[in-house]
Each structure stands twice: as structure tokens, then as C-alpha cells.
Structure 1
Amino acid sequence: MGGINGLDLGTFGVWTFDFENQPAAQMRESIQELEEQGWRAFWIPELFGREALTHAGYLLSCTERMHIINGIAQIWSRGAQWTYGAGLLLADAYPNRHVLGLGFGGVDRPATKPLAAMIEYLDEMDALETPNPTPKAPMHRILAAYGPKMLELARDRSAGAHAYHVNVAHTAQAREILGPDAFLGVEHAVLFESDPDKARAIAREHLHVYLNTKYNIAKFRRLGYSEEEIANGGSDRIVDDLVFWGDLDTIVEKLHAHVEAGADHVGVQVIGIEPGRSAMPYWRMLGDALLPQSISA
């Protein structure tokens, strides 16, 4: 479990927006400490200004063993030619340490179908001819995927799928579609807060944008949540399914449910951190609980 064509990401990794608010020196110190703790995989989004491939390249340059996964690099942020060229360079410079996670992402585009846009982008990437040297280690590619057709595309045109803000039931459904061999990485938000009212208030603030955007709403409907559960900040059920809150033991037990449902890897996103602050204390706790002791010691 945890591999992409020979890559060993481990069963659990760190997924975070935190680096969007940190200077380069602090990012370097943080990623190096995480590597020392024994984390093998670090997931970064592309949403608030950090460009996906330069961000990945910088973090790779700061580490020796850490795998950096774009979760996701938006297909609208750069042409397929430049994504391909950047992916080749990172594969050559840091063999088997970069995973190019591609996704539709960004704002709603009513006139554009995500599946068609992704197919067109992959077709363009795969048809490219370049004078750039072919790396000895392959470029590793996964797709952000939720619905059956995008999951099938991820299975057929990449190493597998990455899912963001889904419940355990979706993980089981995705595994069935992907089959036994394709990679399945799942992000899940966690919150170290045991008071139900406080925890759900923080979780609702985090989930607000996702509960009010077209494609996420469609995703939640497919997962069986009613209009009433999605509206008005989300019901307790959907909030509790999408944000695992409580003490360390409770959170760890819930994260393992994704693995039992078929995930190869779970990217853990600690929420409730003020902008500019670090989740490092919680990453240390999670590392002690989730990582093999022979590695994290």
C-alpha cells in the first residue's frame, strides 16, 4: 500500500495550505523537520498564489527523501506544454520524488465540462515531442477525481486518483472503480478540538466554500447528502464526515477507516491553524501515532 509505480509514499502524509502564508525560510525549516520526523509525502495545493511546479521544485530542493505531491496543479494555470516540461525536469532532477497531481480546480466554468477539459489536456501532454532529455525515472501523474467517469479516466490515463474532502464511503466507491492496481490518495481534514460545538463551528468555517460551490455540491449529492444537509453551513453529519475532530486517538482511528476502505495513502490536513502559524506541533503528534516507529524514531 502507498505506492505509485514503485514510489513508496507511506500510508499517511501531510497535506497543507499553511505554506501559502509562510516565507521561504520557514517553509524550508518545516519541510526538513517533517522529513526528519519520518514523513515521506507532502501535499501542496495551488490556489492562493504559490505556483504549483516552482513550489514543488523548491520543496524538493530543500529535502533529500521527501516526496512532494501537487494536490493539485490546476490545468488552467499553465499550458500542457509547460506542465509537461516542468514535470520532466522535476522527474530528472529528483528521481521518483515528485508526483504531478492534475485537476480541473479553480472557479466554476459553466461552459466547460471538467471531463472533456481534462481529456483534452492529457491528449495535448501525451502528444508532445520535446528536445528535453527523457529522465531515467518516469514522470508520475495522478488526477483529481470524484465522479465515476473521472475516476475511470484517472485509472486509464494516469497512475491513479487523488480525492479531496470526501467521506469514507467515497473511498470505497473509488477503489471499486479504480480496481486493485491504480493508486488512490485521499485528503482528509482533522481538527484537534474535543468540544462538539467549538469543533463544528471551526469545521463549518473551513467547509463554507466547499459547501457553496457547484462541483463540490454535486460531489456531496452523489455521496448521498440531501440538499438540507449541504445547505446552511452543513448538517452535523456532513461536517463530522468531512472533518475528523476530537483527541488524537479518535482522529487516528477515523483516518485508518480510509485505509480500510481502500485508500493507498491519506494526506492529513490539520485545520484550525491561524494564518502564518504552523501546524508543526500537531504534525509531530500525528507522526508519532501514524508513522512506523522504526522510521519516525
Structure 2
Amino acid sequence: MGGIDGIGLGTFGIYTFDFEYQPAAQMRESIQELEEQGWRAFWIPELLGREALTHAGYLLSSTERMHIVNGIAQIWSRGARWTYGAALLLADAYPDRHVLGLGFGGEPHPGITPLTAMRTYLDEMDQLETVNPAPKAAVRRILAAYGPKMLELARDRTAGAQTYHVNVAHTAQARDILGPDAFLAVEHPVLFESDPGKARAIAREHLNPYLNTPYNVAKFRRLGYTEEEIGGGGSDRLVDDLVFWGDLDTIVGKLHTHITAGADHVAVQVIGVEPGQTAMPYWRELAGALSPQHVTT
């Protein structure tokens, strides 16, 4: 399917907020252990304080083979000129190991739609001229995209799309819009808990911010969930679709449903870990359960 997968991200990667709470030395040790386990892609958000491109550069400098993906760098947090310059340097210093994921997070500009803002940002990046040397390996970029128009923009202007907190049906819809050649990565939360009551309680706590923000609520409506399912902490159906919980075999089996539906890559976010703690024990289990060709090719 998409081109990025063919040059090393693999079928499964890790998405985490863990590093927001870790000092630099612990981050370095953690990312190096993950590389030794065979993971090839590590996704980082930009939400709790770490600046996206600095964060990516540090992790790239701490590893030899790991692909670092900004999931996402917020377009309203920095000008297109500076994003372009940082991405050029990372592409030059670490060929084919950085993926610039762009999204419309950050302080919004009143009266400007996310689609217009993203199109304008890409236009600015594409029109920039710089004295900085061009990297031998091109900058690789993708967009956070959910609705049809943003997915079309990702298809037409970048290597592809990243989705976040969606169900398997959305993955199939996204693949139809993107076509066979664009890259599609799907983030999905997982929870190592087999008791339904406990699992859904933890999952609802995790989903709560997303069930109460306008863009996410609109996304869930498009996915076919009713107001009653979205409200009140989320219905069992919604929670079970958006958080894969259970034992290791159950989780791994469910993750593969996104691949069957058309994803090139699934970025696995382990939840249920307290801030300041690490999901490393679970990452080790997942690395062992996912066959090597799925982790490393």
C-alpha cells in the first residue's frame, strides 16, 4: 500500500505520552531498549510540553535505526518556515528515519477552518526557498486526517495520513479515500485488563477528554455513534471499539483488524499506566507477540 511502510516503519509501532514525564537520560535508555527489541517506529505527540522537532531530534540522536514520527507537530504552534527548516535538518542528519506528521493542534486562529489552515501551511512550506543544503533523502510528511476532505488533502499533498482514536470501519473508509498508494497509519489504544468492568472504567477515563472536545465529537458522529453513545462517558460499544482491552492474544488479534481493513501501520498506545511510570513491560510483551516481520519490515 503506502510508500513509507516499504522503507522501514513496519506494520506496528509504539505511540506514547510516557516520554513527557521522563528525564532525558531515561528517555534515551528507553528508546534504545525498544530499538533492541526490534521496534522500528516510535510516535510522539506534541501536547504536554515537549516541543515536537526538538523531541524528535533527541530521539533520533539516541538511536541508530529507529524511525521517529511526529504524531503530530502542531501547525499553529510554529510558522511553516521553521517547521520546514527543522524537517530539512532532520532529513539531512538522519536519512529516511524522521517522519513529519502535521496536524492542526495548538492555539486556533478564529475564522479559519482546519482544512484551510492546513492547505495554507503546506502551500507556505512548498514555496519556501532556503540556503540550507537539500538533504539527499527527502523530507517525509503525513497529515493527521479524519474527514474526507482532509484525507484527500493528505493523499494529494503528502505521503499519506495518520488517524487517532478511530474504529476499524473508519480505517476501511480512509483507505477507500486515500487509494492504494498513500500511506495510512492508525493509532489505537490498548489496555492489558481482562475484567470488563475495570477495563471499561479505565478506558472511559482515558477517552473522557476526547468525548468532550468539538472536533473529536464531530469525528465520532461521523463514525456512526449516536449522541447517547458519545455522552455519559461513552457506551460500551464505543469504548470497546476505541480501546482494545483484554489479554495479550486478544489485543494482538484486534490490532490486526486495522491491517485487514487497509492500514499500512498501527501505532499502539498502551494506556492504564500512571503518569511517571513506563509501559515498557507491555511493550516487551507486544514485541514478543508480534512476529518479527510485522515489527521490523
Cα gap change, 1:66 to 1:108, in 2 (>3 Å)? same
The aligned counterpart of 2:238 is 238
Shift of 1:106: 3.6
Structure 2 portions without partners, runs of 5+: none
The aligned counterpart of 2:92 is 92
Shift of 1:4: 1.1
AA in 1 matched with 2:273: I
Structure 1 portions without partners, runs of 5+: none
Cα gap change, 1:18 to 1:212, in 2 (>3 Å)? same
Matched length: 296
The aligned counterpart of 2:173 is 173
Q: TM-score, normalised by structure 2?
A: 0.97
Matches within 5 A, 1:1-297: 3-4=3-4, 6-106=6-106, 111-292=111-292
Shift of 1:112: 2.4
CA displacement, residues 37-78 of structure 1 (integer Å, 9 cap, x when unaligned): 000000000000000000000000000000000000000111
* Contact persistence 1:2–1:11 (CA under 8 A): no
* Contact persistence 2:11–2:295 (CA under 8 A): no
Shift of 1:108: 6.0
Q: Report the 3-state secondary structure (helix = DSSP H, G, I; strand = E; otherwise coil) of the residue aligned with 1:176.
A: helix
Q: Report the 3-state secondary structure (helix = DSSP H, G, I; strand = E; otherwise coil) of the residue aligned with 1:137.
A: coil
Q: Report the 3-state secondary structure (helix = DSSP H, G, I; strand = E; otherwise coil) of the residue aligned with 1:162.
A: strand
Shift of 1:110: 5.4
Structure 2 CA distance for aligned equivalents of residues 75 and 109 of structure 1: 11
Structure 2 CA distance for aligned equivalents of residues 6 and 123 of structure 1: 27
* Contact persistence 1:75–1:121 (CA under 8 A): yes
Q: Report the 3-state secondary structure (helix = DSSP H, G, I; strand = E; otherwise coil) of the residue aligned with 1:76.
A: helix
* Contact persistence 1:191–1:244 (CA under 8 A): yes
* Contact persistence 1:3–1:10 (CA under 8 A): no
Higher relative contact order (CA 8 A, sep 6+): 2
* Contact persistence 1:74–1:104 (CA under 8 A): yes
* Contact persistence 1:108–1:214 (CA under 8 A): no
* Contact persistence 1:190–1:269 (CA under 8 A): yes
Q: Report the 3-state secondary structure (helix = DSSP H, G, I; strand = E; otherwise coil) of the residue aligned with 2:257.
A: helix
* Contact persistence 1:12–1:291 (CA under 8 A): no
Cα gap change, 1:144 to 1:67, in 2 (>3 Å)? same
Cα gap change, 1:294 to 1:20, in 2 (>3 Å)? closer
Shift of 1:7: 2.3
Shift of 1:132: 0.3
Shift of 1:141: 0.4
Percent identity over paired residues: 81
AA in 1 matched with 2:113: K
Shift of 1:111: 2.5
| Large movers: runs of 4+ above 4 Å | 107-110, 293-296
CA displacement, residues 22-51 of structure 1 (integer Å, 9 cap, x when unaligned): 000110000000000000000000000000
Shift of 1:193: 0.4
AA in 1 matched with 2:186: V
Cα gap change, 1:286 to 1:294, in 2 (>3 Å)? closer
Q: Report the 3-state secondary structure (helix = DSSP H, G, I; strand = E; otherwise coil) of the residue aligned with 1:99.
A: strand
Cα gap change, 1:293 to 1:222, in 2 (>3 Å)? closer
